[in-house]
Amino acid sequence: MAVQPAASVSDDEPASDGFQFPGAWYTQSTPVFLSGNEAALLRGGDELFPAMVRAIEQALHEVWLATYIFHDDPASEAVAKALIAAARRGVRVRVVVDGFGSSHSLTTVKRWFGDKGVDLAVFRPLTRWWNWLQPGQLRRLHQKLCVVDGTRAFVGGINVIDDRNDLHHGFSDAPRLDFAVALHGPVVAPIEQTVRAVWTRATFGRDWRKETLQLARSAEPVRAARKLLRRMHLLPATPPPLADDTPVVAAFVVRDNLRQRRTIERCMIDAIRMANVRVQLVTPYFYPGRSFRRALIKAARRGVQVRLLLQGKLDYRLAGLAARVMYDELLTAGVEVYEYIPAFLHAKAAVADDEWATVGSSNVDPLSLLLNLEANIVVRNTGFAAALSEELDQAMAVSSRILVAPLRTGLGAMLGRGLVAWLAHWYLRLAGSSEKY
């Protein structure tokens, strides 16, 4: 499923070429598209982990890895062994995991790395009950990123855990549906800067706001950075149309609590608004805000084929209810809704028309769009978009299409929507978010 560019980036060419100021990309609240990349779509850990292990085995200088879950099953242990082997041959290896997401396996992971040379940091640890009383504990590290030698990166929604292993339901025969992207080229630079910033926050207790402010200020004022980016042709007013034989154009986008608060959400809404033919969206947790919902509905009403792939096999019943209270409004507008039933669904991806696609860690719900640290890669390339679209078509073909909303208009729908809205409102307030959703 690899998408090869016509003019690929060589291994000895620096991935940060064009980034004269390290934080220049971060000064933009919209995606900064960089050309000259390679991108390969990876399905599940069965494809991601061997690719990551090969890259780590070839590492010469350093490896950075950030993940919500680093589990202790055999698939995770294979990644851990590759990291340990790299550290033993002198490569600097730094891993940061989320304190909540990795709480079940943290003792084992600490023992694995121990004195093996791998530096492990825990983002917002929950080792004591009073940790829950500290501000911001509901805002978690949800990114899944790996960078090797500043030249190769992996971005997606896949945690370091076996595809067939669910923390709440145990092992299953079928792997969960999930995606990641292997990247090589200039777009690796902002990915590495992001992992470094998360590491700094986790290890030294610095606030993400301070770290990203430092990155932004290193590029001089925002206005000057924009002029610089335009001179380097990294920030066109309108990204040029792409042909199949051009290098892959990609943008790395994050969600944080400073300048990039709504970047992921807005770039997805913009893609939906600009779509003329089709929109495909897959996410396990779906409770969009007004703007996102209206974009989907308006696209469907103007004749765009809008297809949503959501959970059919639920891991959290409340998450399923949150999505299903939206069904009647979406179906009435002409949006196609499918529920994935062969296995658990964990993929977060979208395709708009023939050349825009995104894969990452961000769900379409308030936790991802307003609270957690998230990261997506946006690719503008016909070959990549076609590969992802084909994967989603195949997944929808084995899914159940919803023709009648489980909660139709009436008292049940009103109560369901009211309950979900009330819970979402107070969860956001408890987490310290005051933004409209």
Catalytically annotated residues: 142, 144, 149, 346, 348, 353
Segment holding 98, helix H or strand E? strand 92-98
- CA gap 98, 78 in Å, rounded: 20
Q: Which two tokens stand for residue 12?
A: 């000895």
* Environment class of 42 (CB within 10 Å of its CB; exposed 0-12, middle 13-18, buried 19+): buried
For the residues of 255-276, what is the DSSP string, one character each?
Answer: E-SSTTSSHHHHHHHHHHHH-S
Q: Rg (Cα) of the chain, in Å, rounded?
A: 21
Residue 62: CB atoms within 10 A of its CB come to 15
- CA gap 388, 42 in Å, rounded: 9
Residue 352: CB atoms within 10 A of its CB come to 26
Segment holding 303, helix H or strand E? none
- On whether the CB atoms of residues 157 and 375 are closer than 8 A, the answer is no
- CA gap 275, 410 in Å, rounded: 32
Using DSSP bridges, classify how beta strands 118-123 and 145-148 pair: parallel, antiparallel or unpaired.
unpaired
CA atoms within 13 A on the CB side of 9: 26
Could you tell me which of 144, 125, 197 has the C-alpha nearest to residue 347? 144
* Environment class of 127 (CB within 10 Å of its CB; exposed 0-12, middle 13-18, buried 19+): exposed
Indicate the DSSP class of residue 371: I
Phi, psi of 276 (to 5 degrees): -115, -25
Q: Which two tokens stand for residue 120?
A: 């492990």
Indicate the DSSP class of residue 410: T
CA atoms within 13 A on the CB side of 435: 14
Contacts for 118 with CB less than 8 Å, ≥ 6 apart: 80, 83, 84, 87, 93, 94, 95
Contacts for 74 with CB less than 8 Å, ≥ 6 apart: 162
Question: Which residue shows structure tokens 């891993």?
Answer: 95
- CA gap 163, 370 in Å, rounded: 27
